[in-house]
Amino acid sequence: MIRLAFSVHKSSFYRIAIASLACSIPLASHAQQPLKTLLVGVDHRTVTSLNGDWHYLVDQPPARGLYTLEGKVRDNGYGLNTHPNISSGPHNEEYDFATAPTMKIPGDWNTQDPTLFRYEGVVWFQRDFDFQPKPGTRTFLHIGAANYKSFVWVNQKRICDHEGGFTPFDCEVTAALKPGSNFVVIAVDSTRHIDDIPGIGIDWFNYGGLHRDVSLVTVPTQFIDDYDVHLRHDTTFSPAAADTLTGYVHVEGAPAGTAVTVRVSEAGVDTTAKTDANGRAAFEVKASHLSLWSPETPKLYKVQLSSGQDSLTDDIGFRDIRVDGTRILLNGKSVFLQGANMHAEAPYRTGRVNNDEDVKNIFGFLKDLNANFVRLCHYPHDERMERMADREGVMIWSEIPIWQRISYDKPEVYAKAVNMLNEMIRRDRNKASVILWSVSNETPNNPTRTKFLTDLANEARRLDATRPITSALIGPHPKGNQMVQDDPLTNALDVIGQNEYIGWYEGRPEDADTMTWTFPQKPVLFSEFGAEAKFGVHGGKNERWAEEQQVNVYEHQFVMINKIPQVRGLIPWVLMDFRSPVRNIPKLQDGFNRKGLISEDGKQKQAFLLFQKTYKDRSVGKAE
């Protein structure tokens, strides 16, 4: 039975919505597409933004608007955006987006609706939008990130699903769009499961929702969806030979032999290449007087890519990063990374970072700290972070959220990890600021995990041979005052990240003074170390939670680290206090992890001033 339902459209004209087939017969849903397209450089294209007010409805577990009781996604649930006919019920589906409240997208739901602060489950989002499809074009819905699983309908057609809370995805909506008024419905499920990435029991706030930009990207039928333009990475680096750009441009839908042009006018580059049978045009071209990107000179070039009707101009820096023995070389020179860890927690307002103001505040903190580096833990952050780091000359450690408890024995979990790695590298491979890809954080030293992460590290190298691969290791536990880092995963890494909390979780701060470390002959970054202190709590240097105690822990850490010749970076945990569901000491934590050098409202603790001076004086650690 088909029922016509009338609803008052937001802009006060009547819109006849063809209700779905009422009950049992699911609408012939639009075949779900594999997410094979992931547009690179969307922030450098002209897009139709869908940011703004979206209606939302909470669909509490077991989320009957989305799932059948067997857990399958329904084809006749809320995604159809039907409306109760209040006057002449009955109505099979008791929901209505048109009269539902709204919230701002991008934005997590936790910080926008107090009733959803701790909610983990399904929330539905819906908005209308006007659109005029153009012949000879394709249109994709581009979602910067949605945590954790997403299910997308447009005009009652099921379009795509995506899993992963921190990487972008594109779903083609060309066939579903119509001239004039359209609507999109997205269900986001933030529920965590043991076989997800991250798994359960995380030490950060599980903000849910469409927490990054949402837009429509219209491109010609043959379009540039992926590209890699970098300084050729030779077996050794020499400044004189640092004059060749290489890489590829992929043109989706292009027959072999399609011309692609790569122009970097300021570097005297204007080259044309032809696509192969897979739509990929490889190129290599000499540039003239390239100014290499570095923290001191964060030079970015306008790189114009064009093919047929499509073109886009990206801002790309060219530099060389590599490991040489125990040194990290940037453009052939040893570099020492002075940085901090940072969650994607918005300063002052909390919630997920997703706008220019948030990013400006964070980079203000890093600049005040005299930092040249930041570890974006434990997942890819908003792309604005890499863009600002490119412009400001801050180097980045970027990682996927393989954090502590992961099901390493399950092939489907490995597949998820590869997909997230792909999405992270594809989005940011052209960002000079990203110098390290990390495959994990604090994972148990056992053969199943080591094989999983070794394979993943090799997959990262296959995707991008120009950057060192790292991971943050935990353990070993001290044998007396000996710390021997013999985790076999180090064999798969170019740079070793070492987390340790001597003086907070283990032992006394002064134990660090006599601690000696043994590492494999590779560069080591102390990727997490520190202690908690609540801003404004003062006391003796051994009084836990006092700012003076946090400083004391770090001062002893510096004594220890200065004795390890191959340390090439300091990454204290953490730049700013951040929300965490497992930090529940009233009056001290109140739901925040307090290891920040800064409070969540931007107040600098004494430890911040310690690092500010240490980094200015470069008094801890050596570049070689």
Return the number of the residue (130 or 506) whose C-beta is nearest ligand GCU. Answer: 506
Q: Check if the beta carbon of residue 374 is closer than 8 Å to that of residue 366.
A: yes
Q: To the nearest whole angstrom, how small is the minimum distance from the Cβ of residue 223 to ligand GCU? A: 39
**Interface with ligand GCU, residue 592, by CB under 6 A:** no
Q: To the nearest whole angstrom, how small is the minimum distance from the Cβ of residue 515 to ligand GCU? A: 17
Q: Within 13 Å of residue 315, how many CA atoms lie on the same side as its CB?
A: 14
Cα 258 to Cα 224: distance, rounded to the nearest angstrom: 12
What residue type is assigned to position 614 of the chain?
T
Return the number of the residue (498 or 606) whose C-beta is nearest ligand GCU. Answer: 498
**Interface with ligand GCU, residue 589, by CB under 6 A:** no
Return the number of the residue (218 or 438) whose C-beta is nearest ligand GCU. Answer: 438
Return the number of the residue (15 or 405) whose C-beta is nearest ligand GCU. Answer: 405
Cα 382 to Cα 352: distance, rounded to the nearest angstrom: 9
- 3-class DSSP assignment, residue 525: strand
Q: To the nearest whole angstrom, how small is the minimum distance from the Cβ of residue 314 to ligand GCU? A: 32
**Interface with ligand GCU, residue 397, by CB under 6 A:** no
Biggest CA pair distance of the chain: 80
Q: To the nearest whole angstrom, how small is the minimum distance from the Cβ of residue 169 to ligand GCU? A: 25
Q: To the nearest whole angstrom, how small is the minimum distance from the Cβ of residue 577 to ligand GCU? A: 10
Return the number of the residue (307 or 593) whose C-beta is nearest ligand GCU. Answer: 593
Cα 36 to Cα 15: distance, rounded to the nearest angstrom: 34
Q: To the nearest whole angstrom, how small is the minimum distance from the Cβ of residue 543 to ligand GCU? A: 19
The two structure tokens encoding residue 264: 């970097």
Contacts with 398 (C-beta within 8 Å, 6 or more apart), sequence order: 376, 380, 381, 386, 424, 428, 434, 436, 437, 438
Return the number of the residue (275 or 490) whose C-beta is nearest ligand GCU. Answer: 490
What phi-psi label fits residue 137: left (phi over 0), alpha (psi between -120 and 50 degrees) or beta?
Answer: beta
Interface with ligand GCU (CB under 6 A), residue from 156, 499, 552, 606 = 499
Return the number of the residue (187 or 571) whose C-beta is nearest ligand GCU. Answer: 571
Q: To the nearest whole angstrom, how small is the minimum distance from the Cβ of residue 109 to ligand GCU? A: 23
Q: To the nearest whole angstrom, how small is the minimum distance from the Cβ of residue 119 to ligand GCU? A: 22
**Closest residue to ligand GCU: CB criterion:** 203
Q: To the nearest whole angstrom, how small is the minimum distance from the Cβ of residue 538 to ligand GCU? A: 22
Q: To the nearest whole angstrom, how small is the minimum distance from the Cβ of residue 533 to ligand GCU? A: 12
The two structure tokens encoding residue 386: 């890499």
Interface with ligand GCU (CB under 6 A), residue from 218, 470, 593, 599 = 593
Interface with ligand GCU (CB under 6 A), residue from 222, 350, 441, 490 = 441
Residue among 98, 87, 96 at smallest CA distance from 14: 98
Return the number of the residue (226 or 442) whose C-beta is nearest ligand GCU. Answer: 442
Cα 585 to Cα 139: distance, rounded to the nearest angstrom: 49
Contacts with 245 (C-beta within 8 Å, 6 or more apart), sequence order: 229, 230, 231, 232, 262, 264, 267, 269, 283, 284, 285, 287, 290, 318
What phi-psi label fits residue 587: left (phi over 0), alpha (psi between -120 and 50 degrees) or beta?
Answer: left
Give the length of the chain: 624
Q: Check if the beta carbon of residue 144 is closer than 8 Å to that of residue 116.
A: no
What residue type is assigned to position 617 of the chain?
D
Interface with ligand GCU (CB under 6 A), residue from 96, 226, 314, 442 = 442
Residue among 166, 65, 58, 187 at smallest CA distance from 114: 58
Give the pairing type, strands 524-528 and 495-499: parallel
**Interface with ligand GCU, residue 557, by CB under 6 A:** no
Residue among 344, 441, 339, 453 at smallest CA distance from 396: 339
Q: Check if the beta carbon of residue 272 is closer than 8 Å to that of residue 258.
A: no
Q: How many positions of this chain bind ligand GCU (CB under 6 A)?
A: 9
**Interface with ligand GCU, residue 345, by CB under 6 A:** no
Q: Check if the beta carbon of residue 111 is closer than 8 Å to that of residue 350.
A: yes
Q: To the nearest whole angstrom, how small is the minimum distance from the Cβ of residue 49 to ligand GCU? A: 33
Torsion of CA 129, 134, 138, 139, to 10 degrees: -10
**Interface with ligand GCU, residue 365, by CB under 6 A:** no
Interface with ligand GCU (CB under 6 A), residue from 196, 382, 383, 528 = 528
Q: Check if the beta carbon of residue 132 is closer than 8 Å to that of residue 179.
A: yes
What phi-psi label fits residue 442: left (phi over 0), alpha (psi between -120 and 50 degrees) or beta?
Answer: left
**Interface with ligand GCU, residue 414, by CB under 6 A:** no
Interaction residues for ligand GCU, span 536-555 (CB under 6 A):
none
Return the number of the residue (242 or 377) whose C-beta is nearest ligand GCU. Answer: 377
Q: Check if the beta carbon of residue 145 is closer than 8 Å to that of residue 14.
A: no
- 3-class DSSP assignment, residue 12: coil
Any idea which residue has 């134990």 for tokens?
511
Interface with ligand GCU (CB under 6 A), residue from 113, 128, 203, 455 = 203
Interface with ligand GCU (CB under 6 A), residue from 148, 526, 573, 615 = 573
Q: To the nearest whole angstrom, how small is the minimum distance from the Cβ of residue 166 to ligand GCU? A: 14
**Interface with ligand GCU, residue 315, by CB under 6 A:** no
Return the number of the residue (79 or 596) whose C-beta is nearest ligand GCU. Answer: 596
Q: To the nearest whole angstrom, how small is the minimum distance from the Cβ of residue 531 to ligand GCU? A: 9
Q: To the nearest whole angstrom, how small is the minimum distance from the Cβ of residue 499 to ligand GCU? A: 5
Return the number of the residue (249 or 515) whose C-beta is nearest ligand GCU. Answer: 515
Binding footprint of ligand GCU on the chain (CB under 6 A):
203, 378, 441-442, 499, 528, 573, 593, 595
